[in-house]
Amino acid sequence: MSLRILPKRCRKSSAASSSFAPRTERTVSKTWAERSTISDSTESGWMSSKGVPIASLRRLGRSSPSFFDKSPSSLDKEELQNKGMRSFLTSIHKALLLGGSSLLLHLAFFFLVPVPTAWVERVHAKGIFPVLRYLFGAPLSLLPFSFSELLLFSLALLLALALGRAALGKSAIPLFSFLAWTLIVLGHLYFLGFGWLYRRPPLMQRLQLTVPSPSRSLLRETALELAQKARKLRCPPPPLEEIPELSLEAVRGVLPELKAPPLPPTRLKPVFPTGLLLHFGVSGIFSPFTQEAHFDPGLDPLDLAFVAAHECGHLAGFAPEDQASFVAWLALDRAPHPYLRYASSVSALAHLETYLAPEDLKAIREAAGPEVLADRRQAGERFASFRWNLGAKVSGMFYDSFLKAQGVSEGVQSYNAFVLLILAWKEKHSHENF
């Protein structure tokens, strides 16, 4: 224990500051740190403007203004904000991990688990898929434009904004997280709204059709009947804006015969701008994310009728291309308007010609007549006027790989396979007028 006597010059000041410094003149210092602090402040004799020893201010924490640039309340608020942001980001990461894991499990279940086709037909095709169609397709049919296009444009804009913020060193985590979550949801919607339909039993099995043997004579006979029918049915087209609705109503009419659930209130959507799909060799597209069927308004009326019915076939739950084309052919063939029946025969004939021998092809074209051939030529030239060769080639390769990934071994060649369905249908309904 040691005693320290303050200098005389500081005794009066020390007494005046007793209210701030509780220690007396004879301060008992138990530690070296306390002795050092008191000694430095008293020996120097420095006082504040109010007579408060600097040592007292130091002990009160006021000798370091830079540390207290912000008030304790603002520091606490900033710390809470930082903690909240860290907690928010942690929650986002956990949610993305959970959502991504669910999509991976869905992918694994789709590609690796041999789910019985009867289960897919009963639970998904007749249960989940029609519900999704009503939840998305019916409300969005009220819009005169394609919501799918708006969604695609919005996602592209958000991605550009997120990349721009990241390039400027700004936080883009919320934007990237939103985009990631959107992709996860769209992934689930694809499989629920379209992908699982590829796992349905084959249409021939569902309709109890017999797989025909496509002999040369059978193909020639069928093509000849289609050519003669097209020549007989040829007539002027209805107004262009009426064709999609006529095709839709034609598809509605054959769904009971195909043992398919009825369609909800819907409409076909034209893509914008005109020729957007045709540039890539595509005439129509079905969006499984929004349950919207689209067509390119740049199509010739002859192609438009069949394309609109084909996309409605996808909307009706027929995912494979050959099945959707068969639905389109059958629906237009039963349509009240003669031009739709004409388009049905011409489109089926165009696909059937790929199976014909060259010598038979000449006879079929003669049976169709020059006017039918002129209509086909005009439709082909209109399609080619929009076509971008490189874009069409790339999109064709992509879609071929996509179809094969879904289990369609023929890829894009499956479009022509609907000829077998026509032959099988003709054989079963031979008593009817083909």
| DSSP secondary structure code for residue 113 in this structure | S
CA distance linking residue 284 with residue 307, whole number of Å: 6
Question: Per-residue pLDDT averaged across 273-300, rounded?
Answer: 95
pLDDT at 310: 97
**Cα–Cα distance between 294 and 278 in angstroms, integer?**
12
Reported as a single tens digit per residue, the pLDDT across 301-334 is: 999 999 999 999 999 999 999 999 999 999 999 9
C-alpha to C-alpha distance for 268 and 305, rounded to whole angstroms = 12
Residue with tokens 């439709």: 379
Q: What is the per-residue pLDDT for 76? A: 56
User: Do 344 and 306 contact (CB within 8 A), yes or no?
Assistant: yes
Q: Which of 123-127, 182-186, 310-314, 414-418 has the lowest mean pLDDT?
A: 414-418
Q: Which of 157-161, 337-341, 389-393 has the lowest mean pLDDT?
A: 389-393
Distances (CA, A) of 246 to 249, 315, 408: 5, 15, 30
Going through 239-376 in order, the beta strands assigned E by DSSP cover: 269-270, 284-287, 292-295
| pTM, 2 dp | 0.77
For tokens 């640039």, the residue is 69
Element (H, E) at 381: helix 370-386
Question: What pLDDT does residue 25 have?
Answer: 45
Distance of CA 238 to the CA centre of its chain: 34
- 100 compared with 250, residue with greater pLDDT: 250
Task: Say how far apart CA 128 and CA 291 lie, in whole Å.
Answer: 13
Using the 8-state DSSP alphabet, how is residue 202 labeled? P
Of 227, 239, 243, 240, the closest CA to residue 371 belongs to: 227
For residue 75, pLDDT over 90 is answered with no
**Among 208, 204, 187, which residue's Cα sits nearest to residue 196?**
187
Range scoring the smallest mean pLDDT among 49-53, 250-254, 349-353, 417-421:
49-53
Give the pLDDT score at 237: 96
- Does the pLDDT value for residue 52 go beyond 90? no
Whether 202 has a pLDDT exceeding 50, the answer reads: yes
In this predicted structure, what is the pLDDT of residue 81? 55
Tokens standing for 336? 């009240």
391-398 contacts: CB < 8 A, separation 24 or more?
391/279, 391/280, 391/281, 392/279, 392/280, 392/281, 393/281, 394/280, 395/280, 395/281, 395/282, 396/281
Confidence of residue 261 (pLDDT cuts 50, 70, 90): very high
What does DSSP assign to residue 369? -
DSSP state of 20: T
The mean pLDDT value of the chain amounts to 83
Asked if the model's pLDDT at residue 108 lies above 80, the reply is yes
412: confidence class by pLDDT, cuts 50, 70, 90: low
